[in-house]
Amino acid sequence: MHDFPTALRHWRRARRLSQLELASDAAVSPRHLAFFDTGRSRPSRQMVLRLAEVLGLPRGEQNGSLTTAGFAPPFPVLPLAVEEMAQVRATMSWMIERHAPYPALILDRLWRIVALNNPAKRLFGSMGFAEGTSLLEAMADPAVFAGVIEN
């Protein structure tokens, strides 16, 4: 989505809200919202954040909405490997290691494996699962599990 009106319509339809319902929930007039929806008016930074909050957008999508409206994104998106995320990595490691002897996985929002404990590596390693593997793609491909399932 390259412009704010397109992004707004996409998220409004994804949340199954009419212009009137979204305007009511965001405490703006329906006409004012219609101007944003059609591109006749440009929203303020606060209005973009208010609409994103009402639509329940995740932080990354809020950043995207602000960018398409012409504003700088306020929410940092940090990769897990950077120094600022060391505490998060340590906590994730602590959590999955406490699950032993049971397998444990940590997935991101796209169902990619972020971390595995040792029992999970032994169990899923034969199927080629490792950090970065997408479980959704694996489930969509019948050949991935065919070699390990017996009838």
Domain check: are 51 and 90 in the same one?
Answer: no
Report the length, in residues, of the chain: 151
Q: Maximum Cα–Cα distance for the chain, whole Å? A: 62
pLDDT confidence of residue 66: 92
pLDDT tens, position by position, 58-108: 888 899 899 999 998 888 878 888 898 899 999 999 999 999 899 999 998
Q: What is the 3-state secondary structure (H, E, C) of 87-133?
A: HHHHHHHHHHHCCCCCCCEEECCCCEEEEECHHHHHHHHHHCCCCCC
**Domain annotation covers residue 52:** yes
Domain check: are 93 and 138 in the same one?
Answer: yes
Q: Can you give the pTM of this predicted structure?
A: 0.60
pLDDT confidence of residue 53: 93
Structure tokens at 24: 């009511």
User: Could you give the CA distance from residue 122 to residue 109 in angstroms, rounded to a whole number?
Assistant: 24
Domain that holds residue 94: 83-146
Structure tokens at 82: 């950077």
pLDDT confidence of residue 51: 94
